[in-house]
Structure 1
Amino acid sequence: MIERVSLKFLRRTLIASGATVALFTGFAVGPVLLSGGAIAQEINPTSVAPPSGAPMSFADLIERVRPAVVSISVRQRPGASAPTPEGLPPGFEEFFRGRPGQPGGAAPTSLGSGFFIDQNGTIVTNHHVIEGAEEITIRTSDGRDIRADIVGSDQATDVAVLRVRGGGRFQYVTFDDASHVRVGDWVVAVGNPFGLDGTATAGIVSAIGRRDAGSSAYVDYLQIDAPINRGNSGGPAFDLRGNVIGVNSAIFSPTGGSVGIGFAIPANTANQVVQQILRDGRVTRGWIGVSIQGLDEDLAQSLGLDDARGALVGSVVADGPAAAAGLHQGDVILSLDGRRIEDNRDLTQRIGAASVGQSVRLEVLRNGARRTVTARLRERPSDEVLAASDRPEPTTPQIAPSQPGVAQSSLGLSVRPLSQADRTRFELGANAGGLLITSVDASSDAATKFIQAGDVILQAGGRAVRTPQELATAADAARTAGRPLLLQIDGRGGRRFVAVDVSAE
């Protein structure tokens, strides 16, 4: 019934589209006699030249590159499920799912795409395509099924490298430097959507440097509108010269199918990862041992900065490189080796690209004064190790009516000192300061910044607070200075800094 309705709708759409084409396409016209003796013009379609730079056909390009593109079938370990990276925006997850596990306890399988980058059978694909693999089979464009092994993979960028068993000679393609790619350039995707080997689609580069297309802090994605679907994961995106400018990795899709919003890992990013895997078998990144957050205009103003560039240190890992260098919680990292830091993502990428053991100079802002520290980088631990070391979010405390807070009218909230039970819940020391928020005015600036009852204020204006009066004093000082009040908050959203307007009396 669904298919029948869809076909009727399609027919109606095509009929309406046909009328529109007749009205608006520039056709040559000749005379035609209509009923009633009126004279019309005979419609003679003329050829229309493509826009400047556009090919009449992509056939030659696709014929040249298709032999280098492979389909990948992965049988996963028993008990495994098709992986879905965490932290994706809504609508992205569907692209990462392979075929569901077969009934009766059979091992789950997933499908993806990949491409040869040398004649000896080295293949590039996505990490999520081969994650949990027990057996990997690639199918070439001429229909051969060949087993392949994992050389290495990198979850952080979603790039993996395979090599076929037994060697051979294969047609291959090469990475291009995606830095020259511009919005509006043509792009051709070849892959294995829904198991349909060798499917080619075309479109344009819709945007570059997308940072909100996935969970990776190390990838600024290309956005393309060439239709890609499940199974295109790991396949190449080509320019008109047949060079790989991206590795297809994700789509935004409310329905699970293509809606013209796809994302590819830029070739220069992917190639750097591939070369390190081929050289070392794995990817290593520099690490300084801090958690950081970005700056907005309010945070920058509360810190006395002229603009919102830099990275705010939220916490420092004990015994890590940053702790050894003397970095403190609340510092703002302004530059790395003399080059300005644009934001927290810029710092993450530049530290990650640095060599393990390298010493870096960091210019930081602390309490309004600038200073320089030197940190010796270590190897970044795995995502699993970092996740295991994260402090679990505290549970929401029950705020008894008998424990009302002291109103802070300029902040639009009420607070009370911490009890010993509060300190235990938030994993604070027995003598740690802090104020528990007992209520928040829904119309306040604090509420718009997701501060909630049950959160704890650890610092105000860069100083620890223990009493409501200390908080009020910090708010008065910020108001006198004509800037928002910088608060360090601990709660369900994790530990973070927030700048709150205190202009109201």
Structure 2
Amino acid sequence: MRRKILPAALAVLLAFGPLGMAQAQDNSGGRGLADALSDLLRGGSEGQTGEPARRVPFGQQEMQLSFAPLVSQTAPAVVNVYASQRVAARSPFAGDPFFEQFFGQQQMPPRVQSSLGSGVLVDPSGYVVTNNHVIGNADEVRVAMSDGREFNSTILLKDESLDLAVLKIEAPEPFPIAPLGDSDALEVGDLVLAIGNPFGVGQTTTSGIVSALARTHIGVNDFGFFIQTDAAINPGNSGGALINMGGQVIGINTAIYSQSGGSIGIGFAIPSNIVRAVVEAARSGRDYFERPFVGATFENVTAQMAEALGMARPAGALVQSVVPEGPAEIAGLRPGDVVLAMNGAAIEHPDALGYRLATEAIGSVSTLTVLSQGREKQVEVELIRAPEGASSAEIIIDGRSPFAGAKVASLSPRLAQRLGIRGQVSGDGVAIVEVSRNSPAAGFGFRPRDIVREVNGEAIDTPEKLRDVAATNGRWWRFTVERDGRVTNQILRY
């Protein structure tokens, strides 16, 4: 620490000299520049907690300091991610009876869609973190290093709700990495650097500060705990690193707020603590990020609710419902209670609680500070795996029905978490897990996460039931499907 402070101290000596120091001491009532310089020379820039004290730069020499050492340390671990996907092309004359009578149905060669983003190597064995929207449904993903090397990658894990993905590349020698830092230690005003590949022009570094923490509802994805920064982030920066002054990754750049498509100083990054949890899930061999299950749903506390509950201001996560015999009910949580803090960290809204829960390990016990019937209390909640349900079997529907080509499974809390189905789920219905390309199910617009509740007047409660109903050779189909919380009834002839 002293070797970093000493140049600043010498800069003060050169800039002011003994006379200037004495003057500063006289004008400050006995505690002035001389004492401050003495503290610096003794290594006194650390506070009582041992953490480096934050201060503004002073002196001409400090204003000429450079971020170059941080960039040279971190930049080799920031990579470019190239994703490509083959998409079936449709002839412009498809469906034209005159054209098809003379020329038949023409098969067009598939088109290739490509996207470009950034990524960060966080493990020397080749684990790369990027955004889920960078790779999407890519057939091939290549990773290019700053030294010119390129690698084919394997997609280990994708999470659409968090907009994170973990890739794996292989090489005989260890890869350079950028270590993950503690995003909870950030404060508004901290200096940060953003490294990525904006607009495909090549690796670029921009600087700024942390503008805000725990940003929610920015319209990017379901995740609601972003770091906001004014470091310039542009298209192509997605998946790149947001680093602190210690060279640690404290966020993965994911989005910007812009009306023109370029940076206007409002960028967002996913905190490194949630990134660390996702990487650990990929290391353990899981193909999706499994969150702890508490068995409760939460909603925002409005101003009217806060007044009715006797709260000084609207804050916390209001318990909306609890699962019978779930961890929340066992711990004593009831609808109408308000979660104010978790493990000592304040909870301002349900998204903050979701973030805190996601960073905890399954099997651990967390302490919640709860406002219940006008009194605060501490409760301990065990964080368990989401229940799997009676059956975990997945069935592919075949034949000629509108559901042909869909892979389905019984709806359960664990499957809902895996697919990203939000809200409390019941045991009724069958969820669509995957839809094959160019299948009847894809042609009729079915998507993963759709929940099939009823077909031709029969309730669908198991995959086998849907398979049996779909095997009937009917021309008219009536079904009830839930998508994103909305239930629709459809009638079609097929």
CA contact (8 A) 2:83 2:134 kept: yes
Find out whether 1:121 has 2:126 as its counterpart.
yes
Find out whether 1:296 has 2:331 as its counterpart.
no
Letter in 1 for 2:351: R
CA contact (8 A) 1:276 1:283 kept: yes
Match of 1:141, SS state, is: coil
Residues of 1 paired with 2:380 and 2:171: CA distance? 49
Deviation at 1:276, TM superposition (A): 3.5
Residues of 2 paired with 1:347 and 1:239: CA distance? 25
Q: 59, 62, 79: which one pairs with 1:70?
A: 79
Residue 244 (structure 2) aligns with: 239
Letter in 2 for 1:352: A
Residues of 2 paired with 1:339 and 1:209: CA distance? 12
Letter in 2 for 1:109: S
CA contact (8 A) 2:88 2:109 kept: no
Residues of 2 paired with 1:67 and 1:350: CA distance? 31
CA contact (8 A) 2:214 2:352 kept: no
Residue 284 (structure 1) aligns with: 290
Q: 1:120 to 1:337 in 2, by over 3 A?
A: closer
Deviation at 1:249, TM superposition (A): 0.9
Deviation at 1:147, TM superposition (A): 0.5
Residue 200 (structure 1) aligns with: 205
Q: 1:163 to 1:372 in 2, by over 3 A?
A: closer
Letter in 2 for 1:66: A
Residue 419 (structure 1) aligns with: none
Deviation digits for residues 339-372 of structure 1 (CA, Å, limit 9, x no counterpart): 8754433433333344434566767666668888
Consecutive unaligned residues in structure 2, runs of 5 or more: 1-57, 90-107, 387-413, 427-484, 487-494
Give 1:173-212 correspondences, 5 Å limit: 173-212=178-217
CA contact (8 A) 2:220 2:255 kept: no
Letter in 2 for 1:184: G
Residue 313 (structure 1) aligns with: 319
Consecutive unaligned residues in structure 1, runs of 5 or more: 1-48, 81-102, 392-492, 495-505
Residues of 2 paired with 1:364 and 1:243: CA distance? 34
Deviation at 1:257, TM superposition (A): 1.5
Residues of 1 paired with 2:112 and 2:223: CA distance? 32
Deviation at 1:319, TM superposition (A): 6.5
Letter in 2 for 1:177: D
CA contact (8 A) 1:124 1:234 kept: yes
Give 1:92-111 correspondences, 5 Å limit: 105-111=110-116
Residues of 1 paired with 2:293 and 2:321: CA distance? 14
Q: 1:363 to 1:108 in 2, by over 3 A?
A: same
Residues of 2 paired with 1:128 and 1:335: CA distance? 32
User: CA-atom RMSD, angstroms?
Assistant: 3.8
Relative contact order, CA 8 A, sep 6+: which one is greater?
1
Letter in 1 for 2:266: I
Letter in 2 for 1:188: L
Deviation at 1:236, TM superposition (A): 0.9
Deviation at 1:190, TM superposition (A): 2.0
Residue 149 (structure 1) aligns with: 154
Residues of 1 paired with 2:217 and 2:371: CA distance? 28
| Identical pairs, percent | 38
Residues of 2 paired with 1:346 and 1:208: CA distance? 11
Deviation digits for residues 369-415 of structure 1 (CA, Å, limit 9, x no counterpart): 88887755433532636349669xxxxxxxxxxxxxxxxxxxxxxxx
Deviation at 1:51, TM superposition (A): 6.6
Residues of 2 paired with 1:118 and 1:329: CA distance? 43
Match of 1:189, SS state, is: strand
Letter in 1 for 2:78: V
* TM-score where L is the length of structure 1: 0.54
Match of 1:293, SS state, is: strand
Residues of 2 paired with 1:323 and 1:129: CA distance? 40
Residue 421 (structure 2) aligns with: 386
Q: 1:215 to 1:226 in 2, by over 3 A?
A: closer
Find out whether 1:163 has 2:168 as its counterpart.
yes
Give 1:247-258 correspondences, 5 Å limit: 247-258=252-263
Residue 263 (structure 1) aligns with: 268
Q: 352, 361, 369: which one pairs with 2:358?
A: 352
Q: 1:109 to 1:370 in 2, by over 3 A?
A: same
Deviation at 1:279, TM superposition (A): 3.3
Deviation at 1:79, TM superposition (A): 6.5
Deviation at 1:77, TM superposition (A): 5.7
Q: 1:373 to 1:207 in 2, by over 3 A?
A: closer
Deviation at 1:194, TM superposition (A): 1.9
Letter in 2 for 1:384: L
Q: 1:54 to 1:79 in 2, by over 3 A?
A: farther
Find out whether 1:133 has 2:142 as its counterpart.
no
Residues of 1 paired with 2:64 and 2:176: CA distance? 24
Match of 1:208, SS state, is: strand
CA contact (8 A) 2:289 2:418 kept: no
CA contact (8 A) 2:370 2:378 kept: yes
Q: 1:126 to 1:167 in 2, by over 3 A?
A: farther
Residues of 1 paired with 2:290 and 2:264: CA distance? 36
Letter in 1 for 2:421: L
Residues of 1 paired with 2:346 and 2:263: CA distance? 39
Q: 1:76 to 1:387 in 2, by over 3 A?
A: farther
Give 1:51-66 correspondences, 5 Å limit: 53-66=62-75
Match of 1:67, SS state, is: helix
Residues of 1 paired with 2:366 and 2:334: CA distance? 16
Letter in 1 for 2:85: Q
Residues of 2 paired with 1:367 and 1:272: CA distance? 35
Match of 2:123, SS state, is: coil
